[in-house]
Amino acid sequence: MLLNIRAFALTFAFWWGVGVFTVTWWVMIRDVDHSGMEFLLTLYPGYSVSVWGSLIGFVWGFVDGLIGGAIFAWLYNFIAIKLPMKM
């Protein structure tokens, strides 16, 4: 079975964007130390732990997830074609 690359990439992009958005809001609402968010602060330009930053994080996460999901699905299909299924 092969993956539909476009469908997988869009699904992964949506969930990655929602994940960044949700984590940002969770940190804001809980008012916890956001030093663990330093990676996202350096990875996504314009991102911050704020309302506006959560929207920017969603967009960057969507783009990041789209690329990562497409690469993952393509690699999966490539390996699935090369390796014969044995039962």
- Report the predicted TM-score, pTM, of the whole model to 2 decimal places: 0.86
Q: What percent of the chain has pLDDT over 90?
A: 71
3-state SS, the chain, equals CCCCHHHHHHHHHHHHHHHHHHHHHHHHHHCCCCHHHHHHHHHCCCCCCCHHHHHHHHHHHHHHHHHHHHHHHHHHHHHHHHCCCCC
pLDDT of residue 40: 85
pLDDT in tens, 52-68: 999 999 999 999 999 99
Q: Delimit the domains of the chain by residue range.
A: 19-80
pLDDT in tens, 28-46: 998 888 787 888 888 899 9
pLDDT of residue 21: 96
